[in-house]
């Protein structure tokens, strides 16, 4: 677990904390299936992971796929966003989260 958030994590956290995004209750750095996920909405079984450029390598990408498979096995939905997408287009990222949570059109 890390105490200091990246710029992208802080930007997203400011949008989703305290039920700010359509009333969804997110937790930060929550343990799930043996991993610590960036953000989780337990009520909707929704995980949000943010990835930096190091995740573009083949080795890390394969590791991320295995991690995602383990996280989704108990019924969670995992979303992955690039840090750059959060920084440049937070509205679209939040829209994807709302859709995945099943709140689109609510």
CATH code for the domain in which residue 52 is found: 3.40.960.10
The answer to the question of residue 2 being in a domain is no
For 70: left if phi > 0, alpha if psi spans -120 to 50, otherwise beta; the answer is alpha
pLDDT at 105: 63
**Long-range contacts of the stretch 87-94 (C-beta < 8 A, 24+):** 87/7, 87/8, 87/11, 90/11, 90/12, 90/15, 93/12, 94/15, 94/16, 94/21
Q: How many domains does the chain have?
A: 1
DSSP type of residue 1: -
pLDDT at 54: 62
pLDDT at 45: 97
* Containing structural domain, residue 28: 7-59+68-100
pLDDT at 51: 85
The answer to the question of residue 43 being in a domain is yes
The answer to the question of residue 82 being in a domain is yes
The answer to the question of residue 105 being in a domain is no
pLDDT at 56: 54
d(CA 61, CA 48): 16
The answer to the question of residue 83 being in a domain is yes
pLDDT at 2: 65
pLDDT at 81: 96
Averages of pLDDT over runs of 10 residues in the chain (106 residues) are 86 97 97 96 97 64 89 96 96 98 77
pLDDT at 64: 86
The answer to the question of residue 91 being in a domain is yes
Q: Are 21 and 98 in contact (CB under 8 A)?
A: yes
């Amino acid at each position: 677990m890390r105490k200091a958030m990246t710029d992208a994590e802080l930007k997203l956290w400011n949008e989703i904390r305290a039920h700010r995004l359509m009333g969804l209750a997110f937790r930060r750095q929550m343990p799930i299936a043996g991993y610590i996920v960036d953000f989780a909405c337990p009520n909707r079984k929704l995980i949000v992971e943010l990835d930096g450029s190091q995740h573009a390598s083949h080795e890390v990408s394969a590791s991320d796929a295995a991690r995602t498979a383990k996280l989704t096995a108990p019924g969670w939905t995992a979303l992955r966003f690039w840090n750059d997408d959060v920084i440049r287009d937070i509205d679209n990222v939040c829209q994807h989260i709302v859709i995945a949570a099943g709140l689109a059109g609510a």
